[in-house]
């Protein structure tokens, strides 16, 4: 018997089997390394392009807050202060700084103005209104740099190209380089990215409106899908009789989980917008569409979690006189809840990253205002990324990557929460 066993182990068939197992292990390790490499490449590309968007370039100018221009009557009337010609004060500062630096015959005021964002006059107006005691004095005022100047100081432009092939002119380069030499160029944390909504100007655009729109839509999706999903799972698993109807329902629930998300967008367009005439591009409608898409992803894991609860617990509760409904509410659901919560969070996290269904209901519109109510026009973070990626300005490239980083943060946070809840409250049977 021993010789037969030794022969079998040392046989060519056994050696081939062992070699196949080793090759399979090697293939598995190579596949894992390839996946990690691709994931690292993806994250490196996104972070390397998007990290600079969290930094904002600001230009400080010495502004003569001329009382004759701002408030010649000296009454400090708010309407007068708001209607003053602040652009003239900025132009005067730019002209004064350009003396003895540039050939005055070649200078175009428009060329110098373009180093600042288009809302520079509004920044100066707000500064004056907040500091009315400064009127009549010369003060240092900080302005947001234009997107081209911002990209220049971040090293995004090839300045060896001829002037007509780059976004920065030689005069602008000389001017801003002199400002930097005098310490009037600074890089600060880009609060605008988090406190403003979409804008046509890259340096003024932010994700606040998109984030609020996504949160509103996610809230509506959870409000609808969670109770319906859990209720459906309880009914199918605990009350429904096994027949052709329930089999048909179960098959369709499983099929709906694999349906492309754009189909749910078409369904929302046909029913919510065209049939019920609900507001277009509203988080309310977006949340309802996402709820339809999330329902199968909640029902399936919820049923699996309920099924995983041992029958002995149910039988023991029934033996003590509890009703079927009491058993479900007081024993089955609490024990299955960690796995159900995991499915809910993962389903909502997937809904947070969806773009296609929201495009179909009009949430792709340009929305410069932050939504207040759920029926206000809004966009969502994935849709904002989609729109920014289509803009030709180079500054939108880094903002697209920055928005992806913010979206990834929310997704990782939600998935980490799901893992934590499952590990903390899961019961082992």
139: three-class secondary structure by DSSP: strand
Is residue 42 domain-shared with residue 63, that is, in the same domain? no
Q: What pLDDT, in 10s, does the model give residues 30-74?
A: 999 999 999 999 999 999 999 999 999 999 999 999 999 998 888
Residue 7: which pLDDT band, with cuts at 50, 70 and 90? very low
Domain for residue 165, yes or no? yes
pLDDT of residue 106: 57
* Cα→Cα distances 85→59, 109, 110, 122, Å: 20, 16, 16, 10
Judge contact between 358 and 273, C-beta under 8 A.
Answer: no
Domain for residue 367, yes or no? yes
Identify the domain boundary among 190, 224, 256: 190
Q: What pLDDT, in 10s, does the model give residues 341-364?
A: 989 999 999 999 998 899 888 888
- Does 404 score more than 60 pLDDT? yes
Phi/psi of residue 86, nearest 5 degrees:
-75, -25
Bridge pairing between strands 185-189 and 138-144: unpaired
Q: What pLDDT, in 10s, does the model give residues 238-255?
A: 888 888 888 898 899 988
Is residue 351 domain-shared with residue 215, that is, in the same domain? yes
Provide the domain count of the chain: 3
Query: Containing domain of residue 88, as a range?
Result: 54-190
Residue 421: which pLDDT band, with cuts at 50, 70 and 90? confident
For position 239, which CATH number holds? 1.10.3720.10
pLDDT of residue 405: 95
Is residue 339 domain-shared with residue 242, that is, in the same domain? yes
pTM: 0.88
Q: What pLDDT, in 10s, does the model give residues 107-147?
A: 678 888 999 999 999 999 999 999 999 999 999 999 999 99
Tell me which residue has tokens 């302005």. Answer: 143
Q: In sequence order, what are the residues at sequence separation of 6 or more whose Cβ sits closer than 8 angstroms to the Cβ of residue 385?
A: 355, 400, 403, 404, 407
* Cα→Cα distances 357→76, 81, 354, 382, Å: 52, 47, 7, 11
pLDDT of residue 169: 87
């Amino acid at each position: 018997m021993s010789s037969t066993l030794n022969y079998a182990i040392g046989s060519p068939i056994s050696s081939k089997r062992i070699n196949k197992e080793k090759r399979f292990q090697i293939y598995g390790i190579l596949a894992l390394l390839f996946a990690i490499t691709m994931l690292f490449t993806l994250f490196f590309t996104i972070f390397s392009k998007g990290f600079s968007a969290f930094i904002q370039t600001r230009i400080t100018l010495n502004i003569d807050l001329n009382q004759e221009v701002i408030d010649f009557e000296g009454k400090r009337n708010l309407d007068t202060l708001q209607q003053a010609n602040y652009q003239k004060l900025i132009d005067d500062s730019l002209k004064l700084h350009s003396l003895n630096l540039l050939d005055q015959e070649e200078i175009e005021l428009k060329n110098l103005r373009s180093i600042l964002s288009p809302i520079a006059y509004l920044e100066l107006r707000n500064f004056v209104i907040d500091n009315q005691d400064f009127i009549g004095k010369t003060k240092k005022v900080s302005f947001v740099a234009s997107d081209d100047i911002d990209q220049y100081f971040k090293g995004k432009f090839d300045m060896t190209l001829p002037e007509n092939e780059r976004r920065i002119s030689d005069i602008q380069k000389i001017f801003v380089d002199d400002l930097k030499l005098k310490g009037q160029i600074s890089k600060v944390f880009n609060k605008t990215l988090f406190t403003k909504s979409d804008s046509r100007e890259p340096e003024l655009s932010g994700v606040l409106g998109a984030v609020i729109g996504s949160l509103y839509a996610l809230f509506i999706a959870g409000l609808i899908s969670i109770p319906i999903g859990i209720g459906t799972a309880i009914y199918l698993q605990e009350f429904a009789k096994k027949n052709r109807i329930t089999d048909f329902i179960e098959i369709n629930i499983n099929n709906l989980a694999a349906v492309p998300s754009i189909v749910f967008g078409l369904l929302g367009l046909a029913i919510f917008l065209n049939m019920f005439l609900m507001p277009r591009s509203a988080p309310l409608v977006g949340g309802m569409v996402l709820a339809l898409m999330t329902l199968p992803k909640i029902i399936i894991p919820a049923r699996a979690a309920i099924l995983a609860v041992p029958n002995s617990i149910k039988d023991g509760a029934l033996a003590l006189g509890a009703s079927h409904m009491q058993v479900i509410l007081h024993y089955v659901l609490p024990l299955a809840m960690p796995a159900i919560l995991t499915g809910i969070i993962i389903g909502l996290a997937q809904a947070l990253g969806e773009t296609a269904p929201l495009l179909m209901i009009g949430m792709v519109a340009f929305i410069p205002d932050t939504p207040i109510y759920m029926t206000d026009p809004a966009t969502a973070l994935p849709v904002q990324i989609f729109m920014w990626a289509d803009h030709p300005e180079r500054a939108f490239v880094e903002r697209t990557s920055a928005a992806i980083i913010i979206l990834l943060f929310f997704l990782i946070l939600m998935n980490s929460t799901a893992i934590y809840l499952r590990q903390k409250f899961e019961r082992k049977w």
